[in-house]
Structure 1
Amino acid sequence: MKSGLAEGHSATIMTEVTPDMHAQFEGDVVHPVYSTVSMVYHMEWASRKIILPYLEDDEEGMGANVTARHMSPAGNGSSLEIKATVIKYERNIVLTEVIVRDYKNDRIIGKGEVKQVVLPKEKIRERIESI
C-alpha cells in the first residue's frame, strides 16, 4: 500500500432510500424500508472508498469481516449518510467503524465495523481459481 493511510481517515457516502433497497426476498418486498442487506453493502462501499487511493496497481482489497447492528428503520426517500472511519490499520489490515445516519431526522440507522485485507491481485486470483 502507498503511504499515508492512518487511523482517523474517513469516507462518506450519501444515498436516498429507494424501492430497490427495501427489505425483500426473492423479489417480494417484506417491509418497504431500508434493508439490512443494503446497509451492509453501503458500509462496505464507504470503507472501500478509504483504501482506494492507497492501493498500488498490483493490489486489491478484500472484505474479511462485517459486523452490523441495524438499529432503526429508514423509510423510502430517507436521506442517509454512511460514514466509515479507520479505527485500526496494521500492515495490510484495515478496520473501519461505520455509522449510518438519517441526516435529515438526525437518527442513527445502524452501526458496525468492516475489516478489509489488502493483498496482491495475483494472490487473490490464485485463491479464487483454487475454489
Structure 2
Amino acid sequence: MKRGMKVGDVATVVATVTAEQFAQFEGSVVHPAYSTVSMVYHMEWASRKIILPFLEDGEEGIGAAVSVKHIAPTGEGTTVTVVATVTEIKGSIIVTKVEARNERGLIGVGEVKQAILPKADIQQKLLESIQ
C-alpha cells in the first residue's frame, strides 16, 4: 500500500434512487424505496474510493466486514449522498465510518472494513474456495 492515507480521509458517492434500487426479492418489489442492499453497495463504493489511489500495482482491496443500520426510507427520484471517512488504519486493514443522507436527513449509518492484499493471495484464496 502506498503511503499517504490517513485517518479523516473522506470519499463521497452520490446516487439518485431508481426502481432498480428498490427493496426486492426475486424480481418482486417489497417496497418502492431505496433498499438496504443498495445502501450497502454505495457505502462499500464510497469506502473503496478512499483506498484506490493507495493501491500498488499488485494489490487489491477486498471487503472484510460491513455493519449497517438503515434508519429511514427514501423514495424514487431522491438523491442519496454517502460519505465514508477513514477512522482506523491497522496495517493492511482500513476501517471507514459511513453515513447515508437524503434531502431530509440521515437515512443510514455503518462501518466498512477493507483489507489490502496482494492480488495473487486473493486469487489463491478464490481458487481454494472452489476446490
TM-score (norm 2): 0.97
Q: Secondary structure at the match of 1:83?
A: strand
Q: Name the residue aligned to 2:96.
A: 96
| Amino acid aligned to 1:129 | L
In the alignment, the residues of structure 1 paired with residue 26 and residue 93 of structure 2 have an alpha-carbon distance, to the nearest angstrom, of 35
Deviations 1:56-89 (A, max 9, x none): 0000000000000000000001111100000001
1:110 to 104, 108, 111: 108
In the alignment, the residues of structure 1 paired with residue 109 and residue 77 of structure 2 have an alpha-carbon distance, to the nearest angstrom, of 20
In the alignment, the residues of structure 2 paired with residue 90 and residue 22 of structure 1 have an alpha-carbon distance, to the nearest angstrom, of 35
| Amino acid aligned to 1:100 | A
Shift of 1:127: 0.4
| Amino acid aligned to 1:127 | K
Deviating beyond 2 angstroms after TM superposition, the runs of 4 or more aligned structure 1 residues are none
In the alignment, the residues of structure 1 paired with residue 125 and residue 43 of structure 2 have an alpha-carbon distance, to the nearest angstrom, of 25
Q: Name the residue aligned to 2:9.
A: 9
TM-score (norm 1): 0.97
In the alignment, the residues of structure 2 paired with residue 110 and residue 77 of structure 1 have an alpha-carbon distance, to the nearest angstrom, of 17
Q: Name the residue aligned to 1:127.
A: 125
| Amino acid aligned to 2:11 | A
Q: Percent identity?
A: 53
In the alignment, the residues of structure 2 paired with residue 16 and residue 109 of structure 1 have an alpha-carbon distance, to the nearest angstrom, of 14
Could you say what the CA RMSD is over the residues aligned between the two structures, in angstroms? 0.5
| Amino acid aligned to 2:127 | E
Q: Name the residue aligned to 1:34.
A: 34
In the alignment, the residues of structure 1 paired with residue 69 and residue 36 of structure 2 have an alpha-carbon distance, to the nearest angstrom, of 9
Shift of 1:48: 0.3
How many equivalent residue pairs? 129
Shift of 1:90: 1.5
Structure 2: runs of 5+ lacking an equivalent: none
